[in-house]
Chain A
Amino acid sequence: MAEIGERTVTIAKQRFDLRRDAIERATRQLLPEPISSHYVVIGRRRYPPKQVIALATGLDRADFTSHQARRILMRLGFAVGRVPSTSVVSSDRLQVGESVRTDRIPSAASSRERRRELAEMLTALPGQWVAIKDDELLLAASTPNELVSWLSRHNRRADSMFRVPEDEIAAGGLAPL
């Protein structure tokens, strides 16, 4: 029986030996694509499961389903989740392809709770550049250029970008004279 963290799987009639640590290494420099529904958490980042399985196997994404990809990654011990449901509305204020939540209007309390949840997530990313949208982390990257390049490539628009403070000087905003 295969150990946890190692699986032999058959996808599109081909057999692959997949290892959790190999996938973690392979995704270390991989920027996540936008999440449409499901995601897998690898190295504190959220990826579309199909992006990860395509990378790990070299297969075309049309060769397997999102469900297959999720199941494989779960069996390798990765956390898999689903973003809250949203509805897309058109608005003059939005760019093409951008969505807003319309399923619930957050109260002040729930909005505060979401901000706290985001802040707790950011504690794991000191020194990283982050893009935030609707109080959710869109992306963490090593450089601001990488972050903006990703936003541009994926036609996404953040509400905010900054570096997560790694020390008191970064956090303090010490005033220059």
Chain B
Amino acid sequence: MRFPFKDIPDPGGAAVRPRPIVDVVVEGLELAPQACLLDSGASAVRMGAHVAELIGLDLSKAPSATIAVGGTTVEGRLAEVALAVSDGASGHQWTAPVWFCEPWRPAFGLLGLTGFFDRFEVTVASYEERIELTPIAP
């Protein structure tokens, strides 16, 4: 699967930055795929707790942890959810542990090592502003 980078305005609007972002359908919420940044520095997949709310996921009994993000700490709750990506020509669905975090300052979800980079062979061709994902056979 191939995806172009997404052009995202820098804060302040002075410039546009192409970013390696793919849209991920979470638990079949196809009408609103969540934009997620590929982040090989993140140990896991993280999203805002609002995503859990959108998909009607009850996290009250989910395992929780305090996570450091960008100089602050957030409360994360862990759940196994179905994720899917598609480039229009082909797609792939898998299940992964996702930390739903509150508060959540990043504008996107973060696709980290466990649950994403361990499920795909990932090429980030920054010079061509494109991403290639090849699912790894289980």
A176 in complex: contacting residue of B8, B46, B107, CB < 8 Å? B46
Q: Which chain A residues numbered 101 to 156 have a C-beta less than 8 Å away from chain B?
A: 111-112, 115-116, 118-120, 122-124, 126, 131, 143-145, 147-148, 151-152, 156
> Does B70 belong to the interface (CB within 8 Å)?
yes
Q: CB distance B11 to A176 under 8 Å?
A: no
* Interface secondary structure of A, over-half rule: mixed
Residue of A whose beta carbon sits closest to that of B35: A162
In chain B, positions 1-50 with a C-beta closer than 8 Å to chain A are 4, 6-11, 13, 16-17, 21, 23, 29-35, 37, 39, 41-44, 46, 48, 50
A159 interface hit (Cβ, 8 Å): yes
A-B CB contacts (within 8 Å), total count: 126
- The interface on chain A, measured as residues whose beta carbon lies within 8 A of the other chain's beta carbons, has a size of 43
Residue of B21, B35, B67 with most chain A CB atoms under a 10 A cut-off: B35
For A160, list chain B residues within 8 Å (CB).
6, 21, 23, 33-35
A and B contact pairs by CB, cutoff 8 A, 18 listed: A95-B30, A111-B4, A112-B4, A118-B7, A124-B13, A126-B9, A126-B13, A148-B32, A151-B32, A159-B33, A162-B34, A162-B35, A163-B107, A170-B106, A171-B8, A175-B110, A176-B68, A176-B74
